[in-house]
Amino acid sequence: LCMRPHSLLRSTPFRLALAFAIFFICAFLLAGFVAIDLIRRELDARYDNRTQELFNVISQSYADGDIQDVIDATRVHIAAAAHKRDIFLLQASGGRVLAANVPVVSIPDGWSKRPGADFGIAGDYTYRIFAGSVGPNRLVAGTNNEETSELREIVVISFGWASIVVIALAIGGGALIASRAQR
């Protein structure tokens, strides 16, 4: 009444079920990797928007040409940046630091990514940075990827566990179908 494992492995129903399971697992893995990539891109875009907003809010305070307003706005943002989640560097045209929560680091205009270690910040986080001119002055604003990294890790771990469950169910289901077909 009970089918031997060796004959089960050689049975056509088991092989068909296994082939279907492999196809299903591959489709599941492909869909998972696409989903993880889409999530990563969306999170990165949100951090870029946040960084751009920080830069814009501070730079717009220069509307009257008063650098003191820009310095004050930068200092307010520095005070609100817990654990250096956000970084700011405001320099006069000659390079003198007007306000900052990080040391002076050479950063090109536009977008760039830099590790926190470049700013003397402990941790494995990367900062997405936007640098540009505010009148004759230079402003650097950046946001770290701490929350994005944590969320990405949760998604990858969840996907890994779901993959294990899918593989076990596919193989177990294939064996069950094959054993019933053989009876």
Helices vs. strands in the chain: H and E counts, helices first: 4, 5
Three-class DSSP category at 1: coil
The DSSP secondary structure of 65-120, one letter per residue, reads S-HHHHHHHHHHHHHH-GGGSEEEEEE-TTS-EEEESS------SEEEEEEGGGGT
Predicted TM-score (pTM) of the model is 0.72
User: What's the farthest any 2 CA atoms get from each other in the chain?
Assistant: 90
pLDDT at residue 116 is higher than 70: yes
pLDDT at residue 99 is higher than 90: yes
Tens digits of residue pLDDT in 30-58: 988 898 889 889 888 988 999 999 999 99
pLDDT grade, residue 1 (50/70/90)? very low
Three-class DSSP category at 168: helix
DSSP code at position 64: T
